[in-house]
Amino acid sequence: MSEPPQRPPAFVYGSGRGQRSLCCEQVPLAKVAERFGTPLYVYSSHSIRERVRAFHQAFEKVEHTVCYSVKANSNLSILRLLSDLGCGFDVVSGGELLRVLRSKGAPPLSRSVRQGGIHRRAAGNIVFSGVGETVDEMEAALRAGILIFNLESASELEALAACSARLKRNALVAFRVNPDVPADTHPYISTGLHEHKFGVPLHQAIELYARAAKMKYLQVAGVSVHIGSQIMEFAPFSAAMERVADLVRQLRAAGHSIEYVDAGGGLGINYQDSSEDFPKRVSAYTQAVTKPLRGLGVKLLLEPGRCVVGPAGALITRVLYTKTNGATKFIIVDAAMNDLIRPSLYQAEHQIIPVQVGHSRRELVDVVGPVCESGDFFARGRDLPVTNEGELLAILDAGAYGMSLASNYNSRPRAAEVLVNGKSAKLIRKRETISDVIRAEVAALS
Ligand code: PLP
């Protein structure tokens, strides 16, 4: 019987009582599912550690900060782990900022005015990106003392200038430029072409920097770029960085002091094949990013998300029912598109493997959830070992853009999350109840 694909070091089969059983590090997933229920997100801290170390090692020759992109997975314990590994953070909302501060034990922002020092220690390696930062978000970030704002329009610049003047707080600023570089990825996560909503066109940048330099509390300090997510080729990263490097030279020639270059995130992972060597891949990425910047002496900010946490997580789900409609056999599981929307939204193909290896016979099936949408599927026409009702399946590479994109569609409470470290499995987010889901609502009379 051939062994299903695995994701070492996070998810590998172990043997116990004569059966091959999938473990997260040293914890059998069948036991975790028994204890915490399903659907359940399970993450391996070992895998996250390895991936962050690979980044630090690959970039060790240049001054850099890995500002993990919180949107990929924003659980407080994951953020805490990343912070302990020396990561900074890339946030795109006041909510993400608050998560980072909380994960580091900082007090709530309302108490921050008098305790600014505590926040400054917690926030000094946070970059705030976002195409529509609100004044409230800017205010929270200024009070927290983040490292730098990545601005995306002239209006955003004016809003930040007004906000910083009102609070009398200084801020470093960069503009996210749109390099007009195509990236071969899903259209919804490609961001670096001139028709996209992101960033400012390169030809407008010089004028915007000149404007920013005149603002009393703002200091022009960097250039930022992010061309998209799940990018498997390295050439688009080099092309973008070539353009950024040119801009840095022009800005310096115009008298601006450009200390930082933020290369964004976007390094893709191989959802089909786990055998690739991640450190080697990061090292090729490093070449693409750093070569064009050689000689500029800038501090590099990196915003990886997916490649740090993606393969470290799996969504564990139990088979509720099986049925055959016409020629199609359906495996109906207790997870759904509200738990993991990537297959429905991006036509993403996640590998699905049994938690207990049992059957040698294989069949073509659709793996679907209970939500009332035909788009609620995890796999279509997938060749899987025969799977019976009550058995557990693991949907791999679900650590990024899984739980952070989960919703309550169909009034389904969101899944629980567990973080594994060696033999220990800790609940890091309780399963929602239906009371949690409807808590903010009232049944008002019309
Ligand atoms: N930085 C920015 C500005 C982003 O929009 C994103 C996600 O699209 C990221 C970083 C993280 O990208 P990834 O998870 O592909 O590394």
End-to-end CA separation in angstroms for the chain: 63
Q: Is residue 446 a part of any domain in this protein? A: no
Domain CATH code at residue 240: 3.20.20.10
Looking at residue 359, what is its pLDDT?
75
Q: Are residues 319 and 182 located together in one domain of the fold?
A: no
**Which residues contact residue 374 at a Cβ distance below 8 angstroms, ignoring those fewer than 6 apart?**
none
Looking at residue 269, what is its pLDDT?
95
Looking at residue 211, what is its pLDDT?
97
Domain CATH code at residue 408: 2.40.37.10
Looking at residue 399, what is its pLDDT?
98
**Are 72 and 90 within 8 A, CB to CB?**
no
Sign of the alpha-carbon torsion through 260, 401, 316, 428: positive
Q: How many domains would you assign to the chain?
A: 2
Q: CA-to-CA distance for 30 and 104, rounded, in angstroms?
A: 32
Counting from 1 in the atom list of ligand 1, the atom nearest the Cα of 401 is: 14
Looking at residue 187, what is its pLDDT?
66
Sign of the alpha-carbon torsion through 424, 68, 90, 39: negative
Looking at residue 110, what is its pLDDT?
59
Type and span of the H or E element at 43:
strand 40-44
Q: Point out the domain boundary residue: 307, 322, 340.
A: 307
Does residue 229's CB lie within 6 angstroms of at least one atom of ligand 1? yes
181, 266, 300, 301, 385 from 263: Cα distances, Å: 14, 9, 7, 6, 42
Q: CA-to-CA distance for 405 and 376, rounded, in angstroms?
A: 14
Q: Are residues 168 and 288 located together in one domain of the fold?
A: yes
Q: Are residues 25 and 69 located together in one domain of the fold?
A: no
Looking at residue 179, what is its pLDDT?
86
Looking at residue 107, what is its pLDDT?
65
Angle between helical axes of 202-213 and 235-253 (0-180°, round to 10) = 40
Q: Point out the domain boundary residue: 254, 286, 307.
A: 307
Counting from 1 in the atom list of ligand 1, the atom nearest the Cα of 231 is: 15
**Are 72 and 309 within 8 A, CB to CB?**
yes
Does residue 303's CB lie within 6 angstroms of at least one atom of ligand 1? yes
Looking at residue 374, what is its pLDDT?
87
Owning domain of residue 135: 45-307
**Which residues contact residue 401 at a Cβ distance below 8 angstroms, ignoring those fewer than 6 apart?**
71, 72, 73, 305, 306, 310, 342
DSSP-assigned letter for residue 61: T
Looking at residue 128, what is its pLDDT?
97
Q: From 23, 17, 19, 27, select the one nearest 1 (Cα to Cα).
A: 19
List, for the chain, all residue ranges whose pLDDT scores fall below the cut of 70.
Answer: 1-2, 16-17, 106-118, 120, 184-195
Q: Are residues 213 and 333 located together in one domain of the fold?
A: no
Looking at residue 132, what is its pLDDT?
87
Looking at residue 124, what is its pLDDT?
87
| pTM score | 0.95
Pocket test for ligand 1, best of 52, 69, 90 (most atoms within 8 A of CB): 69
Q: Are residues 280 and 240 located together in one domain of the fold?
A: yes
71, 142, 304 from 97: Cα distances, Å: 11, 11, 17
Q: Are residues 101 and 229 located together in one domain of the fold?
A: yes
Does residue 305's CB lie within 6 angstroms of at least one atom of ligand 1? yes
Q: Are residues 303 and 434 located together in one domain of the fold?
A: no
Q: CA-to-CA distance for 177 and 226, rounded, in angstroms?
A: 8
Q: Are residues 237 and 349 located together in one domain of the fold?
A: no
